[in-house]
């Protein structure tokens, strides 16, 4: 099945707040982390919010990308080409 | 609140509100883990379970000690614990260390225990990274807790057959690293 392509603005709607799903982007893939205890209300460890691209944050995180692989990929992040 | 304490931490470039929230979440993880480990420990029975009971008890008591050591720092920095215990449980930095469906499955019990410790090791490593060279007291506290969480992880990891822990059981006293914060 073809994955949905999200624009940045669309991704922002999936911020995990007020019943919305919690999606995050990492290296172009969009992961649905709604089921994670550690992403309740779209926030992770007081530092990160859902609905955004976190590619550049993982380097400082105390875990690697393996942990992301537990979550379903629901699409890809559309990159604007000028 | 210790006003100058907070001011010094703010001046060092640490986002104090964010740090306090992290400390509260980790304090919640410690107290809830203490609770869940109580259930795990009483279910560690039989020939295999008895062999784990002692270290599960040590980890349980030390996690409670971590909560006791953490909460004063939260208040020093101007934070507070939630008024509602249920809210406190739900904001934990780590998922509940729930009893496996089959408590006689020792591997499942050990997996719950080691995953809880690994979550804690990640959490305190992160707090150390955020505070190193900036908030000396929180760093010292987080590092002391981290030292104990690493030992807990290594004990349970050894029982899972992942290799030697390099450590021996505590002999008598608990919290060799954190006890200085409990006096």
**Mean pLDDT within A38-48:** 92
Inter-chain CB proximity A61 and B93 less than 8 Å: no
Inter-chain CB proximity A47 and B22 less than 8 Å: yes
Buried b (16+ CB within 10 A) or exposed e, B98-127: eebeebeebeebbebbbebbbbbbbbbbbb
pLDDT recorded at residue A82: 46
**Mean pLDDT within A3-29:** 94
CATH topology for A4-77 is Flavocytochrome B2; Chain A, domain 1 (3.10.120)
Structure tokens, B145: 């807790």
- For residue A62, the SS3 value is coil
Summarised one tens digit per residue, pLDDT across range B5-34 is 999 999 999 999 999 999 999 999 999 999
The phi and psi torsions of B163 (rounded to 5 degrees) equal: 125, 165
- A1 has a pLDDT exceeding 60: no
Number of A to B CB contacts under 8 A, please give it.
28
pLDDT recorded at residue B45: 95
* Summary mean pLDDT of chain A: 90
Structure tokens, B60: 């349980």
- B112 has a pLDDT exceeding 60: yes
> Any idea where the domains of chain A sit in the sequence?
4-77
pLDDT recorded at residue A2: 64
Distance (Å, whole) CA B18 – CA B7: 14
- A80 has a pLDDT exceeding 70: no
Q: How confident is the model at residue A81 (pLDDT cuts 50, 70, 90)?
A: low
Distance (Å, whole) CA B179 – CA B177: 6
Q: How confident is the model at residue B98 (pLDDT cuts 50, 70, 90)?
A: very high
Summarised one tens digit per residue, pLDDT across range B32-52 is 999 999 999 999 999 999 999
> Alpha carbon of B39 to those of B52, B60, B100: distances in Å?
13, 10, 10
Chain B residue with minimal CA distance to A47? B18
Chain A residue with minimal CA distance to B16? A46
- B172 has a pLDDT exceeding 90: no
pLDDT recorded at residue B167: 86
Look up the CATH superfamily of B3-94+103-181: Ferritin, core subunit, four-helix bundle (1.20.1260.10)
> Any idea where the domains of chain B sit in the sequence?
3-94+103-181
B126 contacts in A (CB within 8 Å)?
Answer: 45, 61-62
pTM of the predicted protein model: 0.90
């Amino acid at each position: 099945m073809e994955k949905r392509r999200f624009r940045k603005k669309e991704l922002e709607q999936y911020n995990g707040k007020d019943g919305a799903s919690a999606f995050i982007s990492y290296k172009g893939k969009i992961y649905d982390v709604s089921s994670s205890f550690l992403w309740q209300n779209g926030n992770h460890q007081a530092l990160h919010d859902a609905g955004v691209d976190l590619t550049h944050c993982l380097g400082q995180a105390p875990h690697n990308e393996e942990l992301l692989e537990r979550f379903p990929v629901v699409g890809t992040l559309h990159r604007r080409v000028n | 609140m210790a006003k100058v304490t907070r001011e010094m931490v703010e001046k060092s470039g640490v986002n104090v509100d964010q740090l306090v929230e992290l400390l509260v979440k980790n304090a919640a993880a410690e107290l809830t883990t203490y609770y869940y480990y109580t259930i795990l420990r009483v279910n560690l029975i039989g020939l295999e379970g008895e062999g784990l009971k002692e270290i599960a008890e040590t980890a349980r008591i030390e996690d409670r000690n971590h909560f006791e050591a953490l909460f004063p720092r939260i208040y020093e920095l101007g934070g507070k614990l939630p008024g509602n215990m249920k809210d406190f449980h739900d904001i934990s930095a780590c998922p509940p260390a729930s009893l496996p469906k089959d408590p006689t499955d020792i591997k499942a019990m050990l997996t719950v225990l080691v995953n809880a410790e690994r979550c804690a090791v990640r959490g305190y490593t992160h707090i150390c990274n955020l505070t190193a060279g900036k908030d000396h007291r929180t760093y010292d506290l987080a590092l002391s807790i981290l030292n104990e969480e690493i030992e807990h992880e290594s004990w349970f990891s050894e029982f899972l057959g992942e290799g030697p822990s390099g450590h021996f059981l505590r002999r008598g006293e608990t919290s060799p690293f954190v006890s200085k914060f409990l006096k």
